[in-house]
Amino acid sequence: MFIALQNAVASDRTILVLGDSLSAAHGLRPEQGWVALLIGRLRAQGYGYQVINASVSGETTTGGLARLPRELRLTQPGILILELGANDGLRGLPVNLTRQHLAEMIRLGKAAGAKVLLVGILIPPNYGPRYTRQFADIYPDLARRLHTALVPFLLKGVALDPHLMQEDGLHPNARGEPLVLNTVWPYLEPMLKKSTQGGRP
């Protein structure tokens, strides 16, 4: 289902997903994750896009920033979906550092000619309400300041429902993943262009 980076063809009809375990189908078969489901929806609706999932479980914004320049060079995407920060928050890393890394990744994506869709994350209140609030503010602040499209919260309607989450309480299960895609889709769809090739990627 996923296109290897070394085999990707540079195209403005390429979507690069740079994320962590929430986009890497952690604990599931790859085809059950929301990114794989996105591939199916794009094809079904006649969008001629290839999707490259460069998500890595456990990834922080530090690691994402280090990997992004190479992946942008290889894929030259028309759209960059940036879903990182959860692991920073779970580890209690400085909020300003996370914000700085995400801002730089947004700038790199735009400089490479990609439209950027920033995906917001909320974290459990492990480090107290002040840290949790400051972390949550990162995403809308960056979207506003850098004029970037924003998914307010990736796990909206999923995170607090045990029937939709894996036992770890952090990752959606196979029932929850389609709802995750439904959360992303209204923000992604306006960025897409219809295929002139009959929907073939």
Is residue 168 flagged as an active site residue?
yes
43: its two tokens: 């094809």
> How many angstroms separate the CA atoms of 127 and 131, rounded?
6
List the one residue out of 193, 189, 157, 195 whose CA is nearest residue 176: 157
DSSP result, 73-141: HHH--SEEEEE--HHHHHTT--HHHHHHHHHHHHHHHHHTT-EEEEE-----STT-HHHHHHHHHHHHH
The answer to whether the CB of 101 falls within 8 A of the CB of 138 is: no
> How many angstroms separate the CA atoms of 120 and 149, rounded?
10
Is residue 21 flagged as an active site residue?
yes
> How many angstroms separate the CA atoms of 84 and 18, rounded?
7
Contacts of 128 (CB under 8 A, 6+ apart): none
Catalytic annotation, pick one of 20, 21, 23, 101 = 21
> How many angstroms separate the CA atoms of 79 and 23, rounded?
16
Catalytic annotation, pick one of 141, 163, 171, 195 = 171
| Catalytic (active-site) positions | 21, 168, 171
